[in-house]
Amino acid sequence: TQFVDKAFINEINSCVLKADACYEQLMHRDALTAGFFALQQARDSYRKSCKYTGIAMHRDLVAHFITTQAIVLSPICPHFSEHVWGLLGRDGSIMNAKWPVVEAVDARLLREGRYVDFVETDTRKKMDKATSGKKGKSLGTVTAATIFVTREYPAWQQHVLTFLTSKFNAEKKEFPSRTEMFQELVKAPACKDAKKQLMPFVALKATEAIEQGLEALELTVPFDEVDLLQSNVDYLTRALGVPITVELASNGTEKTQAACCPGKPIVVCELTK
């Protein structure tokens, strides 16, 4: 089984479990989000990945997706689901179908799949920005791109992340005032040489933590970014239309090294006018 197949199955399992939990709490709008929109997004990502890796979409997996989505939507979209059930050639009514039994979600695989999607989207944006000058003037054409990644934050940022983790109220999704946190951090020996960058970094990571939870304050990501991107470099090259290279930030410029952090690569484009 290919990585793209495993990632798609894992996304389906995640959506089913989320929809099930929403139905239990009578949160039908959220069930629709998980059972339709999120599943459609997972399907689109799978289809695109297969297209650019030259791997055919697996018929059985696509049929599993359609069947699962029809059942998950049947409590709130019964007529649509019944119609799809008939197109699938299933006997009886979908109302008598058993709820999908899925495996536990592989959290690491879920993040790996979404990370590859993020890198492709982010690289495309950086390529577009690199070629766009003032007033829409073209600055040239991207001929290649290098994705720089790093496995750890600088020491001062590690100190800040550990500090923010200790201050974060995950239940209420809030921190003490940023001024109060800054005043405490600025006294830390680890941050003495980074006072100019300190407040913007604190503000950024605090905002991300409120939106994403403690995951935003992790010191590392739970997978090897270099290995993951190297194994998907053919896909990225075909999807983006230019040769893609993956490098450690330590091989880049000082500016690249300073800007790069785990989970958020830096993209450097080569241009020809």
Q: Where are the alpha helices (DSSP H) in 88-177?
A: 107-131, 155-167
pTM of the model: 0.86
List pLDDT tens digits, range 44-91.
999 999 999 888 999 999 999 999 999 999 999 999 999 999 999 999
* Structure-token pair, residue 150: 């790093």
The residue-averaged pLDDT of 199-213 equals: 92
Using DSSP, state whether 25 is helix, strand or coil: coil
**Under DSSP, is residue 264 helix (H, G, I), strand (E, B) or coil?**
strand
Summary count for the chain: helices (H), strands (E) = 12, 3
pLDDT in tens, 244-255: 999 999 999 999
For residue 139, is pLDDT > 70? yes
pLDDT at 9 over 90: yes
pLDDT recorded at residue 136: 74
Contacts of range 130-139, beta carbons closer than 8 Å, 24 or more positions apart: 130/269, 130/271, 131/269, 131/271, 139/271, 139/273
DSSP classification of residue 169: B
CA dist 100 and 102 (Å) reads: 6
